[in-house]
Amino acid sequence: MIHVQHPEENIICYHGPINIDLVSFASNYIKKHIVADASVVGKIYKVFIELTQNVSYYSAKQYSKLRAFGSGIGWFRVDEKKDHFAITTGNVILKEHGPILKKNCAEINSLGESKLRELKRVTRSQAGIRDIGAHIGLIQMGLITGNPLNLNIESQNENHSFFTITAKVNKRQTKEI
């Protein structure tokens, strides 16, 4: 469930089936409605697409009326804070994916830019694209934002957990990606 503590900070928020049509619409909305440096808006756009595509593809709950794959049920929000923008998504995952996501995010958060680029190359060379899509995307978010990924995983039942991830894009940029 989406909880908005400070509604005045919210730029966009949605809960329901997420598919490519919605991602396209919402990402264009973001590009047109965020007032910030073009490089910041570009980073928000890239991170938003990556996070929402992950919900669309990997959510354990899929909206089958639209299509069998790529309509994951979850939520997203983009908030403007004092010194950064926060892009957050949440969705149900299979319980066994939780430890993998935690391990991947901890590794990404512990590495600098050059080591992240190396990890991305190695990861890409080790598996098929469907197997590594979310991991490559998380690595890419670390590279784009230069900030740690913040994740939370809460058990729902014996088979599922709820996964929430936030990526932070600083308003003040120190370099281009």
| Residue range 68-113, pLDDT digits in tens | 567 899 999 999 999 999 999 999 999 999 999 999 999 999 999 9
For the chain, give the mean pLDDT.
Answer: 89
- Look at residue 131 in the predicted model and tell me its pLDDT: 55
* Sign of the four-CA dihedral 67, 73, 79, 84: negative
Give the position of tokens 């996070």.
Answer: 51
Per residue in 19-50, pLDDT (tens digit) is 999 999 999 999 999 999 999 999 999 999 99
Strand order in the sheet with 160-170: 10-18, 72-80, 84-94, 160-170, 150-155
In 59-166, alpha helices (H): 97-110, 113-126, 129-145
Superfamily of domain 11-170: Histidine kinase-like ATPase, C-terminal domain (3.30.565.10)
pTM metric for this prediction: 0.88
The domain locations on the chain are 11-170
Query: For residue 126, what pLDDT band results from cuts at 50, 70 and 90?
Result: confident
Phi, psi of 50 (to 5 degrees): -60, -50
Q: Three-state DSSP class for 159?
A: coil
